[in-house]
Copies of this chain bind each other. A is one copy, B any other.
């Protein structure tokens, strides 16, 4: 291959720019040209292309968001739209495509590959919910943002001896809630993967009070329920005034952490290698600290598993 393209799609995640940079630099290392596609699959369809040289990815490794923009484009499911996109790329001499995003993004990449155009997927989402990889780009950064936010809220919770419910992102996955809850020393953590037990939460609240501890932090993943709703349930049960904080979109932004940047470099480089080896239809991932690749289908045909040993641990440490 002499020319490949790269796009970002789905929810943005810190580290996507670091991936773009790695793709461009690794490709240039092999004298391959890289075309940036703006606005995800919509831009692919519209031919919203720009040649990315080394200079164009300067000073972006540390930036949140994605310089290629992201967009929703449900129309990309249609075969004719996909054929048009392939045509666009071929007109430009593009021979392979790297997509950065979540499982929705991978679906389009698989379909293009099935139509004869080799694509490789890189997992980029803060939710850490892409099957087949232990970590996704953006998860570590979001985790640190959440933990820093909880630290701030705990200053207030401690000073006022209040109980807080904090709602965090993660879609259907509990990874952010689980890791952040453990890292922030939360008293209770609710994740979609485990049925919650209001009695247990109430017991923990009351046990803390009995021990003289009059503040408490409860983390709830958005996939379980709305933070305000949980606070209401707990108020009814305990008679304690509960405050709620929905962390919201601050979780998606910010400069990527060191880990996310290193992973971005490794993922980006491997994705280029796969294309150069003509291995389309693959996703890259990390497993046991090694960079792996696997069938793109696995990412949307299987289900991500959170590390539930952390859940057990959190129960033991939050006595």
Contact = CB atoms under 8 A, between A and B. Distances in A.
Interface in A94-150: 134, 140, 143-149
Interface stretch (A193-201, A232-240, A246-254): A246-254
A284 B14 CA distance: 32
A212 B11 CA distance: 21
A274 to B, nearest CB: 15
A146 B250 CA distance: 10
A179 B258 CA distance: 8
Contacts of A262: 179, 182-183, 310
Question: For A64, A164, A318, which residue has the most chain B Cβ atoms within 10 angstroms?
Answer: A64
Contact of A12 (B144, B156, B184, B211): B156
Contacts of A149: 250
Interface stretch (A66-74, A83-91, A218-226, A296-304): A66-74
B184 A319 contact: no
A253 B152 contact: yes
Q: Taking chain A's interface residues, is the majority helix, strand, or loop, or is none over half, making it mixed? A: helix
A265 interface: yes
B265 A313 contact: yes
A3 interface: no
Given A152-B254, A249-B153, A249-B156, A261 B26 contact: no
A213 interface: yes
Interface of A: 8, 11-12, 14, 16, 21-22, 25-26, 28-29, 54-55, 58-59, 61-66, 69-71, 134, 140, 143-149, 151-156, 158-161, 164, 179-180, 182-185, 211-213, 243-250, 252-255, 257-259, 261-262, 265-266, 269, 288-289, 307, 310, 313-314, 316-319
